[in-house]
Structure 1
Amino acid sequence: MPFQRVHSEKLSTAVVRQIELLILRGILRPGERLPSERDLAERLGVSRPSLREAISDLQDKGLLTTRAGAGVFVADVLGSAFSPALVALFSGHDEAVFDYLSFRRDMEGLAAERAAQFASDTDLRVIQSVLSKMEAAHASRATTDEAQLDAAFHMSIVEASHNVVMLHMMRSMYQLLREGVFYNRQVMFRQRRTRDDLLAQHQRINAGLQARDPDAARRAVEDHLDYVAEALRDQQRADRNEDVARMRYAHETEG
């Protein structure tokens, strides 16, 4: 008969499972500091020795890391997603930029479709809140904040899709974007018209999500990323033309 004796779970094992799930579901994020040992033990309702055993186990698994004098942190589990050699290869070739945007178009379109179907009301409030902050940054011309909120808006949609594999994969992709491997988001906010267009596109994405219309949400994401790709092509063309013009000017003024 397929029955096994029931054993009560060790407290430390229960703590490990809870923290693992919080990391898996993207609630605890890479680099996030855990509460102090005393505070965390009280919140979990376990003894400090049981907590220490759980933390040690999670460290052995590479999910937590301890920094001397600073505390316990969620490990940068995204750091191993791409090797340094591959990151260097990405950053050295323009082709990777457009492949990256094409990948995002497909994955984020799917994420928006799923979010429109599966997001909770709270998920949608989070997305709306990020957009509202983006609108405020736009009005005050805080372009750095606006660019950062742009990334946060897209990640909030991925989180609302409730697919943990997609969540961690896209966080890894956004980490490379934050590090400027593919392109600098702030380049997209140089011109007023571009900024206005981008904001309107994010508003259309949000409208599709809030209406729980999967097709509209996906189309809005795809249209937005098509626009980003074309804007980057235009910028690259303009930069090349400026380089040629400077060489001509230097040649003309040499004599």
Structure 2
Amino acid sequence: MPFEKIHPEKLSHSVVKQIELLILRGILRPGERLPSERELSERFGVSRPSLREAVSELQEAGLLVARANSGIYVAEVLGSAFSPALTRLFGSHEEAVFDYIDFRRDMEGLAAERAARLGSDTDLAVVDSVFQRMEAAHKKRDPSNEAQLDADFHLAIIEASHNVVMLHMMRSMYELLREGVFYNRQVMFRQRTTRQNLLDQHRKINDALQARDPKAARAAIEAHLNFVSQSLTDQLKAEKHEAIARQRLAHESGR
């Protein structure tokens, strides 16, 4: 008969599974510090030896790391998504930038559609909260903070789509964006007209999500990323034209 004895689960294994799920669902983020051993054991309701056993197992699995005199952290698991060689290639070829934007448009359009349908009220409240902070940063004319909130806004939508594979894949893509591998978001946010356009586009995305309109949410994402693509095309052309103009000026000055 295909029946097996039921064995009670070890407390440490229950802790392992809970922490694994928190990492998988993106609730515990790479680089995040866990609470102290005492606080964790109290929250889980297990003894410290059971907690240590769980932490040790997660360290061996590469999900947690210990830092001397600092504590236990979620491992930087996103760092392994792309090899350093591939990252260098991304950063040195223009076509990678536009392929990246195309990829984002497809994936985030789907994520926005799913978020409008499947996101909870709390998910959409988080998206709205990030947008409100983006508006506040816009009024303060802080392009650095506004650019960071731009990334947070898009990631909040992906989180609200409730697809863990998409979540971790897109988080790894955004790490490269934050590092300026694909393009420097702050350059776009320094331009007054571009900043206002970007804010208006994010407002349309947020409005569609809050109205739970999947079709409008996807269309707003696609329009936004089409604008980003065109803006970057214009920027690259302007840089090339400036380089040519400087050559002409240098030639004329040398006559």
Structure 2 distance, partners of 1:77, 1:51, is: 22
State the Cα distance separating 1:2 from its structure 2 match. 2.5
Q: Distance in 1 between matches of 2:130 and 2:98?
A: 26
2:45 — aligned with what?
45
Kindly provide the CA deviation profile for residues 116-154 of structure 1, in whole angstroms up to 9, marking residues without a partner as x.
Answer: 000000001000000000000001101100000000000
> Stretches of 4+ moved more than 2 A in 1?
none
SS in 2 for 1:101: helix
Alignment size in residue pairs: 255
**Structure 2 residue 60 is the aligned partner of structure 1 residue 60:** yes
Q: What is residue 76 of structure 1 aligned with on the other side?
A: 76
For structure 1, the 5+ residue unaligned runs are: none
CA distance in 2, matches of 1:72, 1:161: 29
| 1:240 alignment counterpart | 240
Q: Compute the TM-score of the two structures, normalised by the length of structure 2.
A: 0.99
Q: Secondary structure of the residue that 1:26 maps to in structure 2? A: coil
Q: Distance in 2 between matches of 1:118 and 1:26?
A: 17
Secondary structure of the 2:183 match is coil
CA distance in 1: counterparts of 2:174 and 2:106, whole angstroms: 15
SS of 1:250 mapped into structure 2: helix
Structure 2, unaligned runs of 5 or more: none
Letter in 1 for 2:142: A
Cα distance in 1 between the residues matched to 2:181 and 2:67: 27
Give the equivalent residue in structure 2 for 1:31.
31
| 1:131 aligned residue | 131
Q: CA deviation at 1:187?
A: 1.1
CA distance in 1, matches of 2:176, 2:2: 48
**Residue equivalent to 1:201:** 201
RMSD: 0.6
Cα deviation 1:183-209 (Å, max 9, x = unaligned):
000011121110000000000000110
Q: Which residue of 2 aligns with 1:168?
A: 168
C-alpha separation in 1, matches of 2:190 and 2:231: 11
Give the letter for the 1:179 counterpart.
Answer: E
